[in-house]
Chains A and B, each alone.
Chain A
Amino acid sequence: MTQRLQLVFRRALRSLWENAYLNAVSAGVIAATTLLFGVYLSVQFNVNNMVDTWDKDVHLSAYFHPDVPEQRRFNVRDEIAAHPEVIKVRYVSSDAANLWMQARMPAMETVLAELGSDTLPASLEISLSAARANDIDAFAGTLSVTDFSDIDYGQEWIEKFQGFLSLLKLLGAVMGSLILIAALFLVMNTVHLVVYNRKNELEIQKLVGATDGYITAPFLVEGLIQGLLGAMFAFIGLAAVHRLLVARLKDTFELAITAELQFLPGPYIAMLFVAGSLLGVGAAFLAVNRFLAKVT
């Protein structure tokens, strides 16, 4: 058994070496496809993370009417802080809100200065325990309408975004499947070229009594090696993209993205290698069988 495995690996490595260019093309196609798959997984993973964070971060912004006196605002803050489901309440004065906005959007500094320091209303930033996530509406209803002009907790937006995300996942799955199928055919045709390159040799093997399994096995090993190499290149590419591009995106969209952008965890990386391997082995299997069906 060991001897047969050794023989299969020796024949596979020899073929890889003798058809280095075509095998490199196969590995390249697998790498490109796996990289796309990795990008898809990465986006999905991070967006899911982000939404999870939003879900856990049950947070309300309650904006005071401008005519509510400051002492009353502090009293209201203390009343709300006494609620058992409230984790934290922070009072943000109109001046503080203005300064925050100026710091975040320096280009708007002149406009904000002209509008005056009380342009933005004072507010309470309220954090609730995660257990209250589902009845945030009810909590918002307990807040006095005479004190607050507007209460914003973005739940509706999150729900809409989750709907959009589901659609995006579906589209991603469809596109991903199409890309994988296209790659499968592309790799299969490249392997077919390798097979035809060795047509004479394979026909001779058949004539001396080689079984289909004997002929197919080294191609499957070649496919596996191509797949693993392709996945490795995709992994390196993905790590590079994460390090360079994603870091910049994070800086650019700091306002919008609150969750920490993360690299794919172990199980996702394993999926990447499994996908590459399946692509390589599957394409090799289909290509060799297509050839063997024509040879007697």
Chain B
Amino acid sequence: MIRAYHVAKRYGDVHALRDVTVKLAKGEFCYVTGPSGAGKTTLLKMLYGSTQPTEGKLLVGGIDVARLSRRRLPYLRRNIGIVFQDFKLIDSRTVGENVGLALEVLGSSRDLINRRVSAVLNIVGLPGRGSDYPPTLSGGEQQRVAVARAIVNDPSILLADEPTGNLDGAMAIEVMEILRAINLRGTTVMVATHDTGLMNRFPYRKLRFEAGRLVES
């Protein structure tokens, strides 16, 4: 599902990633871990096309993101769900509207959007909260809304950048349980985190980075 061949990323003289070669199979769950500045977020950003590798080849679902045009980028992202540490929800939109956004951009019918939103809110444990506004929810609930938005269009890949970074222990576990459940349904999940406790509790493959190099896979 994801293949990187000698991928490198430089920002001027700074090497964010160096010579990364890795493969991730369909339906796999893995952590991207390492200290701050190790290159975790850079790798995820490259996977969803926010930045491009300066060297190497990076294939996501068979698409080379290094050669992807700006016009084609939205179509790659429609197959990738993304969850951020800061949730990235639109405060002036209801939970339902936030979750439905990923379907709205696809041009789905209102009826389908309503049905899918309701279904994924059930999956993330927020049934009947569609008409609430994000600021009225707790951090854990907001992150679950973000996860619901990421999976509403049934993507084949879910990328999560420090999804539990802003959450306390119990809430972090709840979110990880949801991510695990999503993975069990066949979605490839990649979680960037440096929370060793969480990685021990939910043991999966680890891609450990240090100073931009992949030191453990």
Contacts and interface: CB of A to CB of B under 8 A. Distances in A.
A208 B105 contact: yes
Contact of B51 (A207, A208, A296): A296
B77 interface: yes
22 contacts: A201-B90, A201-B93, A204-B88, A204-B90, A205-B101, A207-B77, A208-B82, A208-B101, A208-B102, A208-B105, A208-B149, A209-B74, A209-B75, A209-B78, A209-B105, A209-B106, A211-B71, A212-B70, A296-B49, A296-B50, A296-B51, A296-B70
Contacts of A100: none
B23 to A, nearest CB: 25
Interface size class of A (residues with CB under 8 A): 10 to 19
B131 interface: no
Interface string B124-155: 00000000000000000000000001000100
A208 B77 contact: yes
Interface string A3-15: 1100100000000
Contacts of B50: 296
Contact of A209 (B71, B77, B88, B92): B77
B88 A207 contact: yes
A214 B90 contact: no
Contacts of A7: 104
Q: Which of A203, A207, A211 has the most CB of B within 10 A?
A: A207
Contacts of B75: 209
A212 B69 CA distance: 13
B194 to A, nearest CB: 23
Interface string B71-96: 10111111000100000111011000
